[in-house]
Amino acid sequence: MSAVETDNEDTLSILVATDNHLGYMERDPVRGLDSFSAFGEILQLAQLHKADMVLLGGDLFHDNRPSRKCLHQAMTQLRRTCMGDGRVGIEHLSDPSVDFGPQYMHVNYEDPNMNIALPVFLIHGNHDDPSGDGNLSAIDVLAVNGL
């Protein structure tokens, strides 16, 4: 993020991160937590700089089928950072059923049953593309849990 901060309410602050590759070398005793640590730092920077949203531009996970440990770590970090009573200053104007599928009537931060303080938008990368039965990915598991 820029060192120049602005309090202008007309400015949209977006933290963009790509190629997080959560779970990369997760079984390595030395580097096993590197990807999770880096992802945690990204989310902390978004909070610190009061980003309006985070855009994760692909390859959140290193593997198409991340381990349970990897998925748990990702969900824990997203819940810790993104859920809360903060005010979300952006509005989703298009049809959520078109953007997110027919099972979602609201983007998570506009859902009356959820408290989202920091919206995170993800797109699939080549490492975490949907596949198999139902054409689903780990990102779909995050979405169905409101993350």
Region 61-69: mean pLDDT is 92
38-42, 116-120, 138-142: the lowest-pLDDT one: 138-142
Tokens for 136? 């689903």
The pLDDT confidence band at residue 4, using thresholds 50, 70 and 90, is low
Please give the span between the terminal C-alpha atoms of the chain, in angstroms, as a whole number: 23
Residue 118 identity (one-letter amino acid): L
Model pLDDT for residues 67-117, shown as the tens digit of each residue: 999 999 999 999 999 999 888 888 888 887 787 777 777 788 888 888 999
Spatial CB neighbours of 108, under 8 Å, sequence gap ≥ 6: 114, 116, 119, 146, 147
Whole-number pLDDT of residue 1: 47
Residues annotated as part of the active site: 127
**Is residue 66 classed as helix, strand or coil in its secondary structure?**
coil
Whole-number pLDDT of residue 80: 94
Q: Alpha helix locations (H) across the chain?
A: 34-48, 68-82, 96-100, 138-144
